[in-house]
Amino acid sequence: MPAALCTLSHSPLIGFNNPAPETEARVQAAFDHAKKFVEDFDPELVVLFAPDHYNGFFYDMMPPFCVGTNATALGDYDTLAGPLSVTPIARQIVADVLDAGIDIAVSEHMYVDHGFAQPLQFLFGSLQAVPSLPVFINSVAVPLGPASRARKLGSAIGQATAALDKRVLFVGSGGLSHDPPVPKLEGASPEVAQRLIAGRHPTPEERAARQARVIQSGLDLAAGISTMRALNPEWDNAFLDILAAGDLTQIDTWSNEWFVEQGGDSAHEVRTWIAAYAALAARNRYSMNYRFYEEIKEWIAGFSITTAVEIPVQKPVQA
Ligand SMILES: O=C(O)CCc1cccc(O)c1O
Ligand SMILES: [Fe+2]
């Protein structure tokens, strides 16, 4: 059965901060294109690779990767809240991935944030429209392993889905270059450290304060008065070139420090794209057939949407 892919940036500031109307129109057209692509493909299973922003995963127990066999979106930044419809074969896929030598954690009640909710919301209009396999990839809580591990995770998951009698859509959520004000454990005040270690249920006031701070930092970036690292369209497009060329192992040579230097701390979220593309590549040769990119400071996002399809194997004509 066929596989396809859609990767998209997310931003919690969508709907809060408004970019120029022309930009917003171009983004809307890109979303519409992606939505139509997904509708036409009509997936029976969505494998969703996404990060977290200290909403569902904390330093009290921080896995590099985790599959949710049940998952609930907590609805930060007014994104959809509630349970995802996790595929009943999630445990089997986990078993296959472990069998392939990738040590992946499991959660029987995974909490997820806008990183998971936005792509489901934008592509399907709901968290439950299509059975999904939610795969968390740690992209902020250092230390992180090399990006090649995300590629291998994606590859193992792609292989694990190959025998299924289902149309599978691989989705990656996050990136590209961006450096939003996500706190760091090292050097944190005791209060902030506690929030990063065990901050799962903030008060409404705490959540509102955090969101207001991030919204303001997007406005500051757009106004040119921010101290955060600039977006890096050049790096973002070089990354997209590599995905388009199908040359994923090239990324294995990029050090984690270089990711941060080029794209900011949250550029590690492109691990979700690497995993999604590696999953598709494990199934077949592929072609990136749609590519949108725009630097959107109001959203603190090197904002991109791509889709990809398998290249059908052409049998030679017998002469
Ligand atoms: O930590 C938060 O609450 C949100 C951080 C954040 C801000 C802008 C763009 C993003 O992609 C992002 O993750
Ligand atoms: Fe993010």
Give tens-digit pLDDT for 10-25: 999 999 999 999 999 9
What does the buried/exposed string (b/e) look like for 217-247 if buried means 16 or more CB atoms within 10 Å of the residue's CB? bbbbbbeeebebbebbeebbbebbebbbebe
- pLDDT score, position 314: 77
* Strand boundaries in 60-146, DSSP class E: 65-68, 71-74, 81-83, 105-107, 110-112, 132-137
- pLDDT score, position 319: 77
Verify whether residue 178 is a known catalytic residue. yes
Ligand 1 center–CA 249 separation, angstroms: 28
Q: Whose CA is nearest to atom 11 of ligand 1?
A: 11
ipTM score of complex: 0.96
Ligand 1 center–CA 260 separation, angstroms: 15
- pLDDT score, position 316: 84
Beta-sheet pairing, 71-74 with 110-112:
parallel
This model's pTM is above 0.95:
yes
How many other CB atoms are found less than 10 A from the CB of residue 128?
15
Cα distances from 114 to residues 59, 75, 95, in angstroms, run 19, 7, 27
Cα distances from 91 to residues 63, 71, 192, 236, in angstroms, run 17, 13, 35, 35
> Contact 267/219 with Cβ under 8 angstroms?
no
Concatenated DSSP letters for 72-97? EEE-GGG--EEE--B-TTHHHHHHHH
- pLDDT score, position 315: 79
- pLDDT score, position 216: 96
Based on C-alpha coordinates, what's the Rg of the chain?
Answer: 19
- pLDDT score, position 317: 84
Ligand 2 center–CA 100 separation, angstroms: 28
Domains in the chain, CATH or no CATH each: 3-310 (3.40.830.10)
**What residue ranges line ligand 1, CB within 6 angstroms?**
10-13, 53, 178, 180, 182, 210, 214, 266, 300-301
Query: What gap in Å lies between CA 193 and CA 83, rounded to an integer?
Result: 28
Verify whether residue 109 is a known catalytic residue. no
Strand order in the sheet with 110-112: 81-83, 71-74, 110-112
All residues at 6 or more sequence positions from 125 whose CB lies less than 8 Å from its CB, including other chains: none
Catalytic residue among 10, 53, 178, 268: 178
Q: Which helix (H) or strand (E) holds 121?
A: helix 114-124
> Which parts of the chain sit beneath pLDDT 70?
none
Quote the tokens at residue 265. Answer: 């701390």
